[in-house]
Amino acid sequence: FAYVDPRQVRWAAPAGAVVNGASIPRAFWSLIGGPFEGRFRKASVVHDVACVARERRWQDVHRMFHDACRCGGVGAAKAATMYYAVYHFGPRWRIEERATVVAGATRKERVVHDETPAAPTGAEVSAIEAYFVAHEVAPETIPALAIRPASYGSP
110 beta partners: 97
Mean pLDDT of the chain: 88
For the stretch 94-106, pLDDT in tens is 999 998 888 888 9
Q: Is 73 exposed, middle or buried (0-12, 13-18, 19+ CB in 10 A)?
A: exposed
| Entry pTM | 0.85
Looking at residue 146, its pLDDT comes to 60
CA gap 27, 14 in Å, rounded: 27
pLDDT at residue 154 is higher than 70: no
